[in-house]
Structure 1
């Protein structure tokens, strides 16, 4: 097992967020997969369901690799984790390039979805524990900065990918070359994080820390955490919040078009694309804004906002959204800011409940809620919309039932958040003397 790189004397903790951002801005490309869908469908004669497979598998693998690899990330440190993420994520693009070049779509699914998805999961959790250790005074802000990168990665990748496809062409050769450039470029960019990241040593002064270990004495292992009701309550909280957000995000362009199809000023394709860009910006801003606010008002209170106000936003869209575009857009932006904020705040919530001992591994296990929501959200909205269309309905009525379900899920999440209590002392981990000494010499990632 590798040793995590310790910070030398005088090393600034503010170098850790850029290291984390180099990874998260790269793997955040996943949210821009839709740019490749039309060219792939045309070049390989795929339908919309088939062209979505690489993205869906990548999100599933994100949750699974984060869950099963979380303990290894803790044990080996952030540099090891970022290296694994770099190799898997970049290799996924290179395998996909070969698949596009040879017209073997299964290679694209394997490369981007399976191999790249492993890179997504390991890369996503790689800096979390380290950031919390460097910023015990502002854990919400610190994790928000990094996870903001995942939300904002698409703002870079989407126009960049579109420009490459415009320059290289949208046939198999052009798609393959675009995948190749992505793989090589992200490898270089992620390497910056690998080289830059450091963990605090036993004697490293850290602002806001009162001494070794957790100031409140909470120290829960990942194995013990999954046996607590608090973990599963947070699982429900995250799953419901993500399901509600992804229900809008995944179908944003056709949704706003459907809502105002019968109005005097229907939404054009370019305006729908602009709406999607606004949602991405809200997603990114919510990750740093709301998570930073949680440092002041508390994690339970901020999730009351995400879930309670989120349910209200969905209700307003369902009742009045088709009669006022500004109201529809505003409510959707708020929901997406809560979606991003929920991702960024949950590591700090876990730290509050379980301590920093194995918070990265616990976070990884919790991300299975994301995998579930990634399937559940689009399934609810798309399946119900298809059934309503078959029944002869159109416009906003395609989404009334699914929005009602989303409101119910958010209320369920709100109740789960209210039930969260401090972890009972019987779940706390008491280290043996040698283990305690090792913890001080080698801080986990």
Structure 2
């Protein structure tokens, strides 16, 4: 149980509390844990210093994403019960400690400590931190759930926009030997602890009977069969085909984006290495930051758009157009940097938009009762994708390199695989229908968790 200051009952907002203070609280956590998207900046120096392959240097990132999904799945009910302040504190402690353990690992040339610190301990911080504000935001913004979750979750996508150039500058200043990388990791751990503490202090949950002025359940949703005013428990959600269809949609959309994102820095350098204007390390780090920017903006823009056009329609856009853009990159190879960069930017905006839209999609189908716990369980799809995406990209690139191939040939096969995955996701999204009423909670039983909010 959460005790004292961290207890949920101590974070219930007073009557005059502004709901617009909640997105900044969420952003302070998501901007920090979004650093995971800048992991590719550390790959080349770690590979050189510790003698790692591309597949080995991806392991902390992959394991971090696996732990994100697992901790979100198993911790979702605890987050609902103990509240966002407790969850943000746990996330801060684990994420920052992960960097400090990794610093020790690099300093002592013990790579397993980097894997343990960043991948396992930090990964738990990623998962708890990621879901910590989601159900709270939906409860504060039932009138605009896509926009609300988009504001917060765009911070996760935008974390690398800050971390990528910041990490590159620290590596340049401290050096890329063991001591320099270790110092960079240690600074990350301390700074992120301070930054995330702002969310712990600021976050509040609404009182049980709070509603936005002039809003009633069902407002603006009449005629939309995909939006329910009923509620489904987390356990019952697992028994519905809708949950597993959305699990597949999220898994395939993430797989198609995360592999390239994890490999972004070395990938763009490999792609254009044999052209007249190769891409240097600084420009590659800039490309990572640019992808982070579109990842971040996509989370807000596309999820806000979903409030207007509907969740299923926006996923049709993500998956269908995304597949076409992978085809464009594969066919143009390294003939145009502009085509490559713009296509990657749009794909990453869809990747980010998919993350930000999925909580609202879940709210539409399952209601707000245990949406945080349902979202946590769904994030096991991210765990799966966190292994599949980098594994596909890195393993194929390593095998092609071993076969003597260079440039775009290292990645062409992977691009076609990603395109196929998005097509399968498109079909899964088309099969989503409203949840059968037999899974709905009886109105009078609706919410033990909500009653805890008023205690």
| TM-score of the alignment, normalized to the shorter chain, above 0.5 | yes
1:162 CA drift (Å): 2.8
1:140 CA drift (Å): 0.8
Instruction: Check 1:416–1:55 CA distance in 2 against 1; reply closer, same or farther (3 A cut).
Output: same
Corresponding residue for 1:161? 167
CA contact (8 A) 1:165 1:174 kept: yes
1:438 CA drift (Å): 6.4
Q: Which of 71, 88, 95 is 1:89 aligned to?
A: 95
Corresponding residue for 1:230? 242
Corresponding residue for 1:244? 256
1:279 CA drift (Å): 1.4
Corresponding residue for 2:341? 329
Instruction: Check 1:269–1:17 CA distance in 2 against 1; reply closer, same or farther (3 A cut).
Output: same
How do residues 166-245 of structure 1 correspond to structure 2 at under 5 angstroms? 166-207=172-213, 209-210=215-216, 216-245=228-257
1:442 and 2:453 equivalent? yes
Q: For residues 45 and 208 of structure 1, what CA distance do their matches in structure 2 show? A: 61
Deviations along 1:186-223, one digit per CA (max 9) or x if unpaired, are: 112111111111111023342464169x9943211111
Q: Which of 407, 423, 432 is 1:395 aligned to?
A: 407
CA contact (8 A) 1:201 1:440 kept: no
Partner-residue secondary structure (3-state), 1:357: coil
Q: Which of 419, 424, 429 is 2:431 aligned to?
A: 419
1:104 CA drift (Å): 3.0
Deviations along 1:3-24, one digit per CA (max 9) or x if unpaired, are: 4211101100000000000111
Q: For residues 196 and 329 of structure 1, what CA distance do their matches in structure 2 show? A: 38
CA contact (8 A) 2:164 2:289 kept: no
Q: For residues 415 and 282 of structure 2, what CA distance do their matches in structure 1 show? A: 25
Greater than 6 Å deviation, 4+ residue runs: none
Which consecutive residues of structure 1, in runs of 5 or more, have no partner in the other structure?
A: none
How do residues 85-164 of structure 1 correspond to structure 2 at under 5 angstroms? 85-164=91-170
1:27 and 2:33 equivalent? yes
1:53 CA drift (Å): 2.3
* TM, length-normalised to structure 2: 0.90
Report the number of matched residues.
443
Instruction: Check 1:258–1:374 CA distance in 2 against 1; reply closer, same or farther (3 A cut).
Output: same
RMSD in angstroms over aligned alpha carbons? 2.5
1:46 CA drift (Å): 3.8
Corresponding residue for 1:63? 69
Corresponding residue for 1:348? 360
Q: For residues 356 and 392 of structure 1, what CA distance do their matches in structure 2 show? A: 54
Q: Which of 262, 285, 295 is 1:273 aligned to?
A: 285
Partner-residue secondary structure (3-state), 2:216: coil
Partner-residue secondary structure (3-state), 2:334: helix
Q: For residues 51 and 386 of structure 1, what CA distance do their matches in structure 2 show? A: 12
Q: For residues 49 and 274 of structure 2, what CA distance do their matches in structure 1 show? A: 34
Q: For residues 398 and 92 of structure 1, what CA distance do their matches in structure 2 show? A: 32
Instruction: Check 1:271–1:129 CA distance in 2 against 1; reply closer, same or farther (3 A cut).
Output: same
CA contact (8 A) 1:7 1:204 kept: no
Which consecutive residues of structure 2, in runs of 5 or more, have no partner in the other structure?
A: 222-226
My pick for the range that moved more, 66-75 or 395-404, is 395-404
My pick for the range that moved more, 265-274 or 412-421, is 265-274
Instruction: Check 1:396–1:220 CA distance in 2 against 1; reply closer, same or farther (3 A cut).
Output: same
1:229 CA drift (Å): 0.4
Deviations along 1:305-334, one digit per CA (max 9) or x if unpaired, are: 000111111122222343333222221111
1:124 CA drift (Å): 0.3
1:16 and 2:22 equivalent? yes
Q: For residues 408 and 235 of structure 2, what CA distance do their matches in structure 1 show? A: 46
Q: For residues 260 and 95 of structure 1, what CA distance do their matches in structure 2 show? A: 36
Deviations along 1:258-313, one digit per CA (max 9) or x if unpaired, are: 44445454444444333332212111111111111111111000000000111111
Q: Which of 351, 364, 378 is 1:366 aligned to?
A: 378
My pick for the range that moved more, 153-162 or 435-444, is 435-444
Partner-residue secondary structure (3-state), 1:322: coil
CA contact (8 A) 1:99 1:106 kept: yes
Q: Which of 312, 315, 334 is 2:324 aligned to?
A: 312
